[in-house]
Structure 1
Amino acid sequence: MRPRATFKQISRSLMDSWISSPDGLGNPEDIYGPFCKLARPNMVLLVVDVRATNPLDFGIDVIQGYRLPTGLADIGTLQRSRSFADVPDTKYLNETVIPAYVGAVQRQRPTMGRVATRVLDTVIGYDQIILPQKNSSGRSEWCIGLLDIHFLLPAASKDGSLDDVDLTILQLLAEGSSTKEIASASNLSHRTIEHRIDILKSRFQARNIAHLAVLSVSAGLGGIVAKDP
């Protein structure tokens, strides 16, 4: 089977298409159209109408949504948005989304960045490229956005009451260690570690050990916002 195109490869092709596009191009599909079939199911392709003066009135047209199976409802909620004003998480909108698109419009240059943040009850991490319409006679009328989503995790809050043993357990679980290996590293009995894990699952409301490890990682990522590495 032929390997699927990577985000880096698709982004490069989109950039080449953008560079060769004419000034004032009316239809953004002329740029993204040839690459729709290359987008993988963890990618989101959208076009944002940026003609409005108020960014909250920017329109969103999701050309291809996130297609991997997930029980997280937030991703579906976000993809149903039809304008920035419809995005249900105003902090994410104002701190991450609006600055990225307004900046691209003002510069009329493609921008790339990396984001890891919390959106509603989901922790999300993705790379993105934004390509604004070239328009030497005025401001851009549209932007193409391509997101390569690396992870979607159920959000969890940090628990400041965790002791050193709890932190050790969570760290080693995230590394894939077994309960016996954790017991050996902690100089505690296997039964003690199992009891501790049961308590942690209850505190994090985790369904199983794998879910506990994911929630512990999510708790640490939830407050991070990283852009333009």
Structure 2
Amino acid sequence: MTSETPFAAVSRMMLDRWLKTDGQHPATPDTVYQPALDHLSIKMRLTVFHITGPDPLQWEMRAVRHSGFTSRLLNINQLFADCRIGDFKDRRYMEEAVIPRLLEVSRIQQPRIELVKTRLLGVSLGYDRILLPQKNAEAPEWIISSSYARFLLSRPQEQANLDVADEAITQLLVEGATAKEIAAMLGVSHRTVEHRLSRLKERMGARNTVHLVAMLMAGHIDRS
């Protein structure tokens, strides 16, 4: 049997508590999230959005538990420090990936679980997210958001316009083949493969082969 992921476990716990709340007697957000706090993994964060009026840009974002996830690309915890949505550093990210869903769950007062693929300050990122709005006979006063980081990928300095040989090499590289294995499969010298990879790293600003693979994947995600 497949074990339950941390995100699935936390979502289940919070959904169970949320289902027991009553719109006639609105609950506080900690009533829903408290049992799940000790089960958040290092790649998860939990935030409460406080609804202060009709304009979502005025809503307050308050972190309950920051992620332990670190990256050279973005300081996630610093970016998602407590603030008004309208003061968030990347307004486009909020307007495209966050605000529409907050408005939706607030309106229908139903949870939503989804995989989000978007961009934040030019970086491709993907994460699982659950949104849980307060049940309230009047209107919700808060929305709980918990997310689980899947990927964070930098965009290449230059888009890779690959010829046929480079396409074959990068495809095998992404599949996990070594330069020596790629050379054998394509019937070229190991030196040729290394030369082409070095040229690609230089063009795209990759520090090493692993970084190059991440950039190639980021380019693919941007096009998907």
TM-score, normalised on structure 2?
0.91
Question: In the alignment, residue 43 of structure 2 is paired with which amino acid?
Answer: N
Contact 1:153 1:215 in 2 (8 A): yes
Q: 1:216 corresponds to which letter in structure 2?
A: L
In structure 2, distance between residues paired with 1:213 and 1:149: 19
Name the aligned partner's letter for residue 111 of structure 1.
R
CA distance in 2, matches of 1:4, 1:71: 29
Provide the rounded CA distance (Å) in 2 between the counterparts of 1:86 and 1:77. Answer: 13
Distance verdict in 2 for CA 1:36–1:5, change over 3 Å: farther
**Which secondary structure does the structure 1 equivalent of 2:83 belong to?**
coil
Contact 2:70–2:76 under 8 Å retained in 1: no
Counterpart residue number, 1:133: 134
Q: Are 1:167 and 2:136 matched, yes or no?
A: no
Per the alignment, residue 227 of structure 1 pairs with none
What SS class does the counterpart of residue 195 from structure 1 fall into?
helix
Where relative contact order (Cα < 8 A, 6+ residues apart) is larger, the structure is 1
Unmatched tracts of structure 1, length 5 or more: 225-229
Match of 2:46 in 1: 45
For 2:88 and 2:223, the matched residues in 1 are separated by: 19
**Corresponding residue SS for 2:161:** coil
- TM-score, structure 1 normalization: 0.89
Contact 2:62 2:81 in 1 (8 A): no
In structure 1, distance between residues paired with 2:191 and 2:45: 45
Displacement of 1:169:
1.7
CA distance in 2, matches of 1:157, 1:220: 14
Q: Is the 8 A contact 1:156 1:222 kept in 2?
A: no
Structure 1 85/62 Cα, relative in aligned 2: closer, same or farther at 3 Å? same
Tell me what 1:151 maps to: 151
Residue 100 (structure 2) aligns with: 99
Equivalent position amino acid for 1:39 in 2: L
The verdict on how the C-alpha distance between 1:4 and 1:63 changes in structure 2, with shifts beyond 3 A counting, is: farther
Q: Which amino acid aligns with 2:131?
A: I
- Deviation string, structure 1 residues 204-227 (Cα, Å, up to 9, x no partner): 111111111111111111355xxx
The one-character-per-residue Cα deviations of 1:104-124 (angstroms, maximum 9, x if unpaired) are 000001111111122113211
In structure 2, what is the equivalent of residue 221 of structure 1?
Answer: 221
- 8 Å CA contact 1:50–1:142 kept in 2: the answer is yes
Matches of 1:88 and 1:144 in 2, distance apart?
A: 21
Q: 1:141 Cα deviation (Å)?
A: 0.6
In the alignment, is the contact (CA less than 8 A) between 1:74 and 1:122 conserved in 2? no
Q: Aligned AA for 1:156?
A: P
1:160, distance to aligned residue in structure 2 (A): 5.3
Following superposition, the deviation at residue 195 of structure 1 comes to 0.5
CA contact (8 A) 2:122 2:155 kept: yes
**CA drift at 1:68:** 2.3
Q: Which moved more, 1:92-101 or 1:154-163?
A: 154-163
Identity %: 33
Gaps of 5+ in 2: none
How far did residue 52 of structure 1 move? 1.8
Q: Aligned partners of 1:28 and 1:185: how far apart in 2?
A: 57
CA apart distance, 1:62: 0.8
Task: Output the CA distance in 2 between the equivalents of 1:111 and 1:4.
Answer: 19
Count of equivalent residues: 221
Alpha-carbon shift at residue 155 of structure 1 (Å): 2.6
